[in-house]
Amino acid sequence: MDSRCCVEHSIFPLTDQERGACDAALQLSQHTKIELLPNVHINERMELSGFHFEAAGCDMANVLPIPTNLFDCIVAYEVLNETNMNFNNTVLHILQNIDEYKTKLDTLMKELMANTTNIPAFHSMPDDNEDEALNDDELVFCKHVCDRQVWDDQTPNKVGLYHAFVRPHTKDSIDHKLFIIVSGSLKFLDEEFHRLWQDCNTFTTCEQLLESEELQWFRSATLRNHNRVAARVADTLGLPVRCFIDTEDPTNQRRSAHPTTITMKSDITIDLQTRRVHMVDGGCFMHNSVNGILFEMHASEGLWLFCGPPDHASYNCFGTIFNYHGDLKCFPTSTLRYHEKFQPRGTVVSTQHGCEHAKDTIYERKEMMQIDTLFPEEIFMRRCESLGFNRNNQIERLMPLLQYVSEKAF
């Protein structure tokens, strides 16, 4: 095994496929490194997932193992509790009228699926040429930041209502909270950026790729889409959520929900001190993760939220940045799914995915199928602890109340 491959956080011995994928990722440059996360595995596209990759900024961009779903993320939005009670009565109202709420959510998802004309693409990016008539002093106040074209909200992989009993760091009470969760990426932009990277990666450096306007807008558009979808879910279901106007939309009329926690499932960044490029797949960068880290489980389980150290300055209820050591560190953000070419290991949970008559879940897949996923147990938690999670801090369980699950999700 190459010495540039760190396996200390992996919970199982590597398979031949995983070893081969690691060797392939390191062979194009001697400046590259790869660190495997506890959820490392071979996904259904036969690609390595669950790793932190590092390369020199001067390396050509072809050394980067760019995934096909870069900037896939999970975003949580807290639904305001309009009473002073610790228990959220809205949850009871939803449970008593679950069929009505399910019909409303299903109608909204069909509307999003029908948005196939004005899809977000790079031709929608702001046009800096419109600012050429302004001098440098005017640009400070007048720089054009609106999209060139209007684009419609896109369907995420998973969206729904989740509730949890949350204990604050003072441990003097338990609050019942309700959240809107939106998870996924923008399919067309995923494909468009991946083609762009394939076309230019032999004559573009990693640093140039990170500084490109396309990559910056790609990240921004993904988060904006999730915010707008969450606002529409809140409006459709009549839920009080803090919202604001998406000022980058040309109409200046699209409402966006204010996120409580943002967790990237794939991300890329550059260390400005060392000029090294870092990319993570199946995880997030801890220095960018404030107010806890969301961890995606199978659809029946919902999500886990790993809390950070108590935040006494910004009052983030799920804590501040984890106490990690060394350079940029990553943390896993989803469990792993087993399939025919990557057989189950460890504690396996088998769940039914896809059903037309599920009470609290709208599945895109109507035919029933079985999905096997890893359930994180003690050895997984020890690896998370070595990455920077303090087990004295809590793990909140966000239980599904009503959700939509696409074929890509599990």
Helix/strand/coil percentages in the chain, nearest 5: 25, 30, 45
Picking from 395, 232, 295, 357, the residue whose alpha carbon sits closest to that of residue 73 is 295
* pLDDT the model gives residue 222: 96
Rounded average pLDDT per 10-residue block, the chain, 410 residues: 86 93 92 95 92 95 93 95 86 94 94 90 80 53 74 94 89 90 94 94 94 94 96 96 93 94 95 92 92 93 93 83 81 93 90 79 85 93 93 93 88
Task: Supply the pLDDT for residue 137.
Answer: 56
Note the pLDDT of residue 313. Answer: 78
Amino acid at 278: H
- pTM, 2 dp: 0.93
DSSP-assigned letter for residue 14: P
User: 404, 160 in Cβ contact below 8 A?
Assistant: yes
Residues 259, 77 contacting (CB under 8 angstroms): yes
- The backbone torsions φ and ψ at residue 393, rounded to the nearest 5 degrees and listed phi first, read -80, 160
pLDDT the model gives residue 133: 52
* 5-6 and 33-42 beta bridge pairing: parallel
Q: Is 158 strand, coil or helix?
A: strand
What is the DSSP annotation of 33-94? EEEEEEEEEE-TTS-EEEEEEEEETTSBGGGS---TTTT-EEEEEEEP--SSSSS-HHHHHH
- And the tokens for 236? 């459709």
What is the end-to-end Cα distance of the chain in Å, rounded? 32
CA distance 281 to 53: 8
**Residue 98: its pLDDT value, please?**
94
Residue 145: the pLDDT is 75
CA dihedral 195, 335, 292, 229 (to 10 degrees): 50
Domain boundaries, the chain: 5-405
* Residue type (1 letter), 35: E
How many other C-beta atoms are found inside a 10 Å radius of the C-beta of residue 99? 9
The length of the chain, given as a count of residues: 410
**The two structure tokens encoding residue 244:** 């604001």
Selection from 326, 328, 325 nearest residue 275 by Cα:
328
